[in-house]
């Protein structure tokens, strides 16, 4: 017979009843349980980048053989080096150093990053300290009061309000960083276009200078023929009029060149009087620019990146608005010394302390929280629309510049053929005039046609350079 029967386990199992001794330990858990169940309802919606219909290829994409340039030339940050102009390289470096719009964008980025740090600080407890001394008179007696205390407080982020605020601030800072990249790219492109137009103006001035010299020789020829009795005074007057017209055109180009030089000075952070650019030849060739595929725009263009980050920030703000429906739970602690005598302030009997949680909730707000939630949702929808519009605008800009480059290249080729024909006609008219078979008017008409064709060729070259820079910008540059 078993003298020591195994006791029934049920009779010796520790009791799990909530006893008065265990209640203080279980109370905080019981209090937090409903909050934990509700916390999942306050978080913002899971963020997903808004979908945009992206075409497989550009409508105006030229044949594959057109993409002769090396893509690596454009994927670097210094995209402007594809033009091979050291003067342009130096000026764009000055944009980073001195442009005030760029300084403003950089300051806004620092401001956004500081706002992120401020939002993130709310995740941690705050500690403050203070000391006070006073002298008071009441009911016929005068007394002093001294205190020295330290206080700490911590808002428990049960509903994710602080986390959502941090996420919104981080997304806004990322948007500001993309804004800075977009501003830099825009200023660089603006300077490159102004610089190329200035070089076209140099070529126009050179052309008109050579034209003036040619017209002066024609005027001398006509005067000599007048002296020989084989020309009329009308021929001389027409030659003089043509010469003065060419001189006036050269002066007009000088105005445009000066204004372009002033614009470049402002872009580089200088006063117009502080910059003088010597005349130089225009680029010999227009570099080919590979546009890539449409989907790359979503990754390369900084303005699209900025719009997408603002969508993320608006999504996080929905979580902030939802959290406002729930109470805030704060843990606070305070401790220190208080005494009527300064010498006894730090004595043990004069110490005090307090520690405990506090719960606060808005019971009625007249619909303010509902309005804030609706506002956050509407703001999110607005940023989604802005993002999609930014993508569509980018596609449009690429298509516009692709077709512009294609058509302008053909147009310049045809215009050069027209120039060659005009030069041939001028040679024939000049020989006929010297032979006395035609009037000087035929020579003037032929000379005017040559000048117009030469200026048209230069104008088309400038437009091609401008469109090339615009396409580089539209495809994201080197960002």
* Percent of the chain residues past pLDDT 70, beyond the cut: 87
> Are 260 and 344 in the same domain?
no
Which pLDDT score is estimated for 340?
84
Residue 312 lies in a domain: yes
C-alpha 121, offset from chain centre: 28
Residue 37 lies in a domain: no
Nearest to 455 by CA among 414, 421, 416, 410: 416
Domain boundary among 316, 340, 360: 360
> Are 272 and 132 in the same domain?
no
Residue 70 lies in a domain: yes
pLDDT at 472 over 80: yes
> Are 247 and 331 in the same domain?
no
CA 474/CA 353 separation, integer angstroms? 64
Sorted by sequence, the CB contacts under 8 Å of residue 219 that are 6+ apart come out as 236, 239, 240, 243
Sorted by sequence, the CB contacts under 8 Å of residue 296 that are 6+ apart come out as 475, 476
Nearest to 460 by CA among 403, 400, 407: 407
Cut 0.85: pTM above it: no
| Highest-pLDDT range among 8-12, 155-159, 285-289, 303-307 | 303-307
> Are 297 and 376 in the same domain?
yes
Which residues are paired to 332 by β-bridges?
153, 356
Give the pLDDT band (50/70/90) at residue 408.
very high
> Are 448 and 430 in the same domain?
yes
Give the 3-state secondary structure of residue 68. Answer: coil
> Are 264 and 356 in the same domain?
no
pLDDT at 100 over 60: yes
> Are 46 and 166 in the same domain?
yes
Residue 28 lies in a domain: no
CA 339/CA 149 separation, integer angstroms? 12
Residue 15 lies in a domain: no
Which pLDDT score is estimated for 299?
79
Instruction: Find the mean pLDDT for residues 347-357.
Output: 87
> Are 133 and 93 in the same domain?
no
Average per-residue pLDDT for the chain: 86
Residue 86 lies in a domain: yes
- 206-257 tens-digit pLDDT: 999 999 999 999 999 899 989 988 888 999 999 999 999 999 999 999 999 9
Which pLDDT score is estimated for 163?
92
> Are 446 and 310 in the same domain?
yes
> Are 408 and 450 in the same domain?
yes
Look up the CATH number of the domain holding residue 177. 1.20.1600.10
Give the 3-state secondary structure of residue 140. Answer: coil
Give the pLDDT band (50/70/90) at residue 70.
very low
pLDDT at 475 over 60: yes
Structural domain tally of the chain? 2
Which pLDDT score is estimated for 401?
93
CA 212/CA 447 separation, integer angstroms? 11
Give, in degrees to the nearest 5, the angle at Cα 109 between 108 and 115: 90
Look up the CATH number of the domain holding residue 346. 2.20.200.10
Domain boundary among 360, 378, 405: 360
- 324-342 tens-digit pLDDT: 999 988 999 999 898 888 8
> Are 258 and 336 in the same domain?
no
Residue 109 lies in a domain: yes
Give the 3-state secondary structure of residue 358. Answer: strand
The backbone region for 366, taken as left when phi is positive above 0, alpha when psi lies in -120 to 50, beta otherwise, is left
Which pLDDT score is estimated for 415?
97
Choose between 77 and 130: higher pLDDT.
130
Where in the sequence is the domain holding 377, given as residue range(s)? 42-122+158-326+369-474
pLDDT at 391 over 90: yes
CA 206/CA 15 separation, integer angstroms? 103
> Are 295 and 428 in the same domain?
yes
């Amino acid at each position: 017979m078993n003298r020591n029967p195994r006791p029934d386990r049920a009779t010796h199992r520790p009791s799990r009843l909530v006893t008065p001794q265990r209640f203080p330990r279980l109370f905080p858990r019981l209090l937090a349980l409903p909050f934990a169940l509700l916390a999942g309802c306050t978080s913002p919606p899971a963020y997903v980048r808004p979908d945009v219909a992206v075409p497989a290829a550009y409508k105006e994409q030229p044949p594959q053989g057109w993409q002769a340039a090396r893509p690596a030339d454009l994927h670097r940050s210094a995209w402007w080096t594809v033009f091979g102009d050291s003067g342009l390289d130096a000026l764009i470096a000055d944009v980073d150093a001195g442009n005030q719009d760029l300084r403003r964008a950089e300051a806004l980025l620092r401001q956004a990053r500081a706002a992120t740090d401020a939002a993130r600080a709310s995740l941690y407890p705050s500690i403050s300290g203070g000391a006070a001394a006073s002298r008071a008179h009441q009911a016929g007696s005068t007394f002093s009061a001294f205190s020295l205390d330290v206080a700490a407080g911590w808002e428990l982020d049960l509903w994710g309000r602080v986390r959502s605020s941090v996420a919104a601030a981080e997304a806004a800072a990322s948007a500001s960083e993309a804004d800075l990249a977009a501003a830099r790219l825009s200023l660089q492109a603006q300077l490159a276009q102004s610089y190329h137009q200035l070089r076209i103006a140099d070529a126009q001035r050179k052309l008109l200078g050579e034209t003036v010299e040619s017209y002066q020789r024609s005027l001398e020829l006509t005067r000599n023929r007048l002296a020989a009795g084989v020309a009329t005074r009308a021929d001389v007057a027409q030659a003089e009029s043509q010469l003065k017209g060419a001189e006036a055109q050269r002066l007009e180009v000088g105005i445009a060149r000066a204004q372009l030089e002033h614009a470049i000075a402002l872009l580089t952070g200088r006063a117009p009087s502080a910059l003088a650019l010597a005349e130089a030849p225009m680029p010999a060739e227009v570099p080919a620019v590979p546009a890539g595929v449409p989907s790359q725009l979503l990754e390369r263009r900084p303005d699209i990146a900025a719009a997408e980050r603002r969508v993320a920030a608006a999504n996080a703000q929905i979580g902030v608005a939802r959290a406002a429906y729930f109470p805030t739970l704060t843990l606070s602690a305070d401790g220190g010394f208080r005494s009527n005598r300064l010498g006894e302030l730090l004595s043990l009997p004069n110490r005090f302390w307090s520690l405990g949680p506090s719960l606060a909730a808005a019971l009625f707000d007249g619909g303010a929280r509902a309005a804030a939630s609706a506002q956050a949702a509407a703001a999110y929808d607005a940023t989604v629309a802005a993002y999609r519009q930014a993508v569509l605008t980018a596609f449009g800009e690429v298509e516009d510049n692709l077709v512009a480059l294609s058509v302008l290249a053909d147009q310049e080729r045809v215009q050069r053929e027209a120039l060659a024909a005009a030069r041939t006609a001028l040679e024939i008219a000049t020989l006929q005039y010297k032979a006395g078979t035609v009037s000087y008017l035929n020579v003037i008409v032929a000379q005017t046609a040559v000048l117009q064709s030469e200026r048209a060729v230069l104008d088309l070259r400038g437009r091609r350079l401008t469109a090339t820079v615009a396409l580089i910008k539209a495809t994201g540059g080197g960002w």
